[in-house]
Amino acid sequence: MKNRKLLMIPGPIEFTPEVLGAMGLPTTSHVAPNFINVCGEALELMRQVFLSPTGQPFIMAGSGTLAMDMAAANLIEEGDGVLVVNTGYFSDRFAKIAQRYGAKVTEVRASVVGDVPSADDVEKALKSGSFKIMTLTHVDTSTAVCVDIKKLAHIARSYGVLSVVDGVCSVAGEELRQDEWGVDIALTASQKAIGVPPGLALVMASPKAMEAFRNRTSPVRNFYADWNEWLPIMKAYEERRPSYFGTPAVNLVWALNVSLKQIGEEGMEKRVARHKRISRAFKDAMRALGLKQVPLSDEKSATTLSGVYYPDGTDSSLLKHIGDAGVIVAGGLHPQIKDKYFRVGHMGAVNGSDILSTIGAIETALVKSNYKFDKGRGLQAAAAILE
Ligand SMILES: *Cc1c(COP(=O)(O)O)cnc(C)c1O
């Protein structure tokens, strides 16, 4: 018997047995020839996942927040203008990080939770100030809202502003074509759609972002994240040479190599299509059960996770009932609606039976909470999409 519950939160996610197997390999030296090769390959494979043949990849020991910190530390100098396209909790975090490095931060927000700022509002904000960087949260994990990166990155570039995309909940799940869309930095963490246990911060920087970094006139105000230290290390691994600045997370890099190869075998288009299909199955199921979602429309919804309001007469005790039925989902995160909704992550290696199990557990929990609905309606709606 598998004595564990299905983990359906927006990271960490369920990992493949091959990835978990790599975590258990004997740890080598960080300059062992086989590790140098594995890390060099992982850097090369990152370009395929980010669809960024011209990008400079960085693999660091740390969480997604370090990836955000690294982007800010290396690009921002005292007094630089940063426009934060704010869609929730993690956009707030980017604003705080930018301020820490001395940026003058302006925010453009949607008026209600679940909405995204319009392209017009973003353009107006860009016009009305002087900005070096615009940050975007591709999928805001607190609201399950997704912004149109293609459109907004294009607008940023037309104003000569660097676009920095927090893709922690999107890279390797949502469609993101870094080079084609002119995204200057895309970043993520290992434990989300890229499918590796927590502990790696992953950053891809465009040639324009690297140029802005080289043009700095003041030192990088973060010792650990300084690209002056890490760029030679990343280059050395790609050239299969030994090097050292800080010890890499050897086993995690090994696991990353395995996961990136699995992603490559599936192919990015198929992977994005699978995320869309699973997301649609889940969202249709919630609608069929009469449950409302946080994003205001399907076009503004992520495919890597869903945010669902507790139906009338129920509350966060639903989470415990879902857990008792064998599936772990996450509570609310956005401060304004924290106790009113729950979140379900469906990214990475997720498949149709995972999503059906999750919907089944939610139906079971709804019955326990005395919510009135036609039992099986959610499962039927999802099955219609998955077949
Ligand atoms: C999870 C997440 C983060 C933070 O990542 P950590 O690994 O928890 O530091 C940042 N941004 C988004 C969009 C996320 O989903």
- Per-residue pLDDT tens over the stretch 147-205: 999 999 999 999 999 999 999 999 999 999 999 999 999 999 999 999 999 999 999 99
Cα(382)–Cα(359) distance, integer angstroms: 8
Question: Which residue among 169, 176, 196, 343 is best mutated to probe the pocket of ligand 1, counting the most ligand atoms within 8 A of its Cβ?
Answer: 169
Pick from 265, 288, 315: which residue ends a domain?
A: 265
What is the percentage of the chain residues whose pLDDT exceeds 70?
99
Residue 259, pLDDT > 70, answer yes
* Whether residues 218 and 112 fall in one domain: yes
* Whether residues 202 and 271 fall in one domain: no
Structure confidence by residue, pLDDT tens digits, 208-240: 999 999 999 999 999 999 999 999 999 999 999
Q: What's the confidence (pLDDT) of residue 247?
A: 97
Closest residue to atom 1 of ligand 1, CA basis: 168
* Domain annotation covers residue 1: no
* Domain annotation covers residue 88: yes
The domain containing residue 110 runs over which residues? 18-265
* Whether residues 207 and 338 fall in one domain: no
* Domain annotation covers residue 43: yes
* Whether residues 231 and 288 fall in one domain: no
- Number of domains, the chain: 2
* Whether residues 279 and 258 fall in one domain: no
Q: What's the confidence (pLDDT) of residue 4?
A: 85
pLDDT range class, residue 352, cuts 50, 70, 90: very high
Instruction: Indicate which CATH number applies to the domain containing 157.
Output: 3.40.640.10
Residue 263's closest CA among 380, 137, 347, 185?
347
Residue 361's closest CA among 387, 331, 317, 324?
324
Strands 162-166 and 185-189: parallel
Cα(292)–Cα(312) distance, integer angstroms: 10
Cα(142)–Cα(12) distance, integer angstroms: 15
Average pLDDT over all residues of the chain = 97
Question: Which residue among 9, 143, 146, 166 is best mutated to probe the pocket of ligand 1, counting the most ligand atoms within 8 A of its Cβ?
Answer: 166
Structure confidence by residue, pLDDT tens digits, 281-338: 999 999 999 999 999 999 999 999 999 999 999 999 999 999 999 999 999 999 999 9
Where on the phi/psi map is residue 307: left (φ > 0), alpha (ψ -120 to 50), or beta?
A: beta
Ligand 1 closest atom vs CA 169: 15
Q: What's the confidence (pLDDT) of residue 117?
A: 97
- Ligand 1 centroid vs 146 CA: distance in angstroms? 14
Q: What's the confidence (pLDDT) of residue 2?
A: 64
Closest residue to atom 2 of ligand 1, CA basis: 168
Pick from 233, 265, 297: which residue ends a domain?
A: 265
* Whether residues 51 and 124 fall in one domain: yes
Residue 44, pLDDT > 70, answer yes
Residue 376, pLDDT > 80, answer yes
* Whether residues 257 and 283 fall in one domain: no
Cα(263)–Cα(258) distance, integer angstroms: 9
* Whether residues 216 and 242 fall in one domain: yes
Q: What's the confidence (pLDDT) of residue 1?
A: 52
* Domain annotation covers residue 94: yes
* Whether residues 238 and 361 fall in one domain: no
Q: What's the confidence (pLDDT) of residue 387?
A: 84
* Domain annotation covers residue 377: yes
* Whether residues 260 and 288 fall in one domain: no
* Whether residues 251 and 273 fall in one domain: no
Closest residue to atom 14 of ligand 1, CA basis: 168
Instruction: Indicate which CATH number applies to the domain containing 378.
Output: 3.90.1150.10
Q: Taking CB atoms and a 6 Å cutoff, what residues make up the pocket around ligand 1? A: 10-11, 63-65, 90, 137, 139, 141, 166, 168-169, 189
* Whether residues 346 and 336 fall in one domain: yes
